[in-house]
Amino acid sequence: MLLLILKRIGLGLITLFIVSLITFVGVEVLPGDACTTYLEREAYGAALDACIKRLGLDVPAYERYLDWASNVVRGDFGYSLSGEMPINEVLGPRVKNSLVLASVSILIGIPLAIVLGIITALWRDKLPDIMISTITIFSMTIPEFISATLLILIVAIWLGWLPGIVIIPSDATFYELLSNIILPVVAISMIMTAHMARMVRSSVIQVMASDYVQMAILKGVPYWKMVFRHVLPNALLPAINVVALTIAWLLGGVVVTEVVFNYPGLGRLVIESISNRDLPVVQALAIILASIYVGINLIADLMTLMLNPRLKSLQIRK
């Protein structure tokens, strides 16, 4: 069991190592280095030399990679080009803001998804299922920027209930954030809930068709007791992994949502750093976002392992 956990952590670390290689090689291979892209037309003479010196671009690539990687392992991402300040200082408040947004969305989204998934599965092909399933299909297929724009148009502009654009500095306090994040949270959790509710639905339907549920029905177990004792634990377990993958996949959508609402989180930093051609920050963001992805999947794997005694004896899953 312990070995299995260690193996999974090891695999996660290998993945992250490859990610760091990919981002580094990618930036190396694509035309233009950090200095020429950043300085653009002024990339000549003394300014270019100074920039190359400052970033240490005059040493060979593999030495730079080793240097950079060893610093990253110690939690130091180096300096950003545009702000000329340590990347850690740029990232700090952004990570906190995105964390607030993500955790509120997840706290609302997951329970809602489970409830909706169960309702649609138990009343399969009846009116509640048809209604909820139609809405989930809409909210999971429409791009984030469209649902966010529509939310602003309807709730903020036509109804005038909430401010449409978040106008807070990136170092706003927690309470300032909370009052501003209602619409972004709705936009993000809408899509997340839709994806997860669909998975819970099909998972519950699968379990309901299994032999032991038939057995429970024939034994005369009361309906709701059967649902909560026999069906749900077995149906929600396999959903954990899929939910983790979905959350991780939605990271990309969070970027877009943050831009639409002008929310000062990691997502907007992605756009800002790419617009400013600030490659060191982009590299740092790639590593951080990939770590989040790997971390979420690792937690999901471990949770499934802990909760499912049957998997403990099995070989590691690919």
Partner 1 sequence: MESNLIIKDKQKNKLEKAFEILKTMASKPSGLIGLTIVLFHVVLALTSPYIAPYDYKAISPNTMLLAPSAEHWFGTDSLGRDVFTRTILGGRTALTVTFFGSLIALLWGGLLGIFCGLVGGKIDDVVMRVVDAFLSIPWILAMLLIVSLLGTSTEVLIPALGFFYGKGIVRVARAATHDVIAKDFIVSARARGHSNMSIIWNEIIPNVRDAILVEGAMRWSWMLLGFSSLSFLGFGVSPPTPDWGLMISNARGLMSFAYWSVIAPIVGLSSLIIGINLTADAFAKALGIDRSTKAPV
CB of 53 to partner 1, least distance (A): 23
| CA distance from start to end of the chain | 16
Angle, CA 108 vertex, CA 102 and CA 111 arms, to 5°: 125
- Closest CB to partner 1 among 97 and 203? 203
Q: Do 47 and 54 form a contact (C-beta atoms < 8 A)?
A: no
For position 285 contacting partner 1 by CB under 8 A, the verdict is yes
For position 137 contacting partner 1 by CB under 8 A, the verdict is yes
Residues numbered 11 to 70 that lie near partner 1 (CB under 8 A) are: 11, 14-16, 18-19, 21-23, 26-27, 30-32, 37
Residues numbered 165 to 204 that lie near partner 1 (CB under 8 A) are: 195, 198-199, 201-203
How far is residue 16's CA from residue 138's CA, in Å, rounded to a whole number?
34
- Closest CB to partner 1 among 87 and 199? 199
For position 294 contacting partner 1 by CB under 8 A, the verdict is yes
For position 206 contacting partner 1 by CB under 8 A, the verdict is yes
Q: Do 283 and 34 form a contact (C-beta atoms < 8 A)?
A: no
Identify the bridge partners of residue 86 per DSSP, sorted by sequence position.
79
Residues numbered 65 to 104 that lie near partner 1 (CB under 8 A) are: none
- Closest CB to partner 1 among 219 and 318? 318
For position 277 contacting partner 1 by CB under 8 A, the verdict is yes
For position 153 contacting partner 1 by CB under 8 A, the verdict is yes
Q: Do 156 and 183 form a contact (C-beta atoms < 8 A)?
A: yes
For position 233 contacting partner 1 by CB under 8 A, the verdict is no
For residue 245, what are its two tokens?
A: 């993958």
Query: How many Å is the maximal CA-CA distance in the chain?
Result: 85
Residue recorded with tokens 């139609």: 134
CB of 316 to partner 1, least distance (A): 12
Dihedral, 269, 270, 274, 280 alpha carbons, nearest 10: 80
* Spatial CA neighbour of 296 closest among 17, 92, 87, 99: 99
Q: Do 197 and 117 form a contact (C-beta atoms < 8 A)?
A: yes
Residues that bind partner 1 (CB under 8 A): 11, 14-16, 18-19, 21-23, 26-27, 30-32, 37, 137-138, 141-146, 149-150, 152-153, 157, 195, 198-199, 201-203, 206, 238, 241-243, 245-246, 248-249, 251-252, 255-256, 259-260, 270-271, 274-275, 277, 282, 285-286, 289-290, 293-294, 318
